Amino acid sequence: MKRYLFFLLVIFLNCTSVNDYYFGRVTDENNNPLENVIVLEEGFENQTKTDENGYFKLNCTPDWLSSLIFSKQGFKTDTIPTVYIQSGETINYAFIEKKDTTIIQLKILN
């Protein structure tokens, strides 16, 4: 019985685990990578910048999921939630699930 409960616990933890960091890529409207975009965890001082290929990796604040703010001079600042609910049933995570890279497109200021 103990072995069965342990097995179920391991499966549950593996199915619900997410990364301890945010990651993604930032591009312009023409899908060109944007370098030095500031990526800031809303409500915290935790931030990073995108590399020459537009990629970023930012450590998450423990036990908290925030929205991410993307900012670069000459472009509109954008705020993207990292957790959202689809159809009132499924909770989805942007930037932290072990799936394809999340891509953000920033628009040039008019």
pLDDT tens per residue across span 61-86: 777 777 899 999 999 999 888 776 66
Write down the pTM of the prediction.
Answer: 0.71
Burial class (CB in 10 A: 0-12, 13-18, 19+), 41: buried
User: 15 — alpha (psi -120 to 50), left (phi > 0) or beta?
Assistant: alpha
Give tens-digit pLDDT for 10-32: 333 333 445 678 888 999 989 89
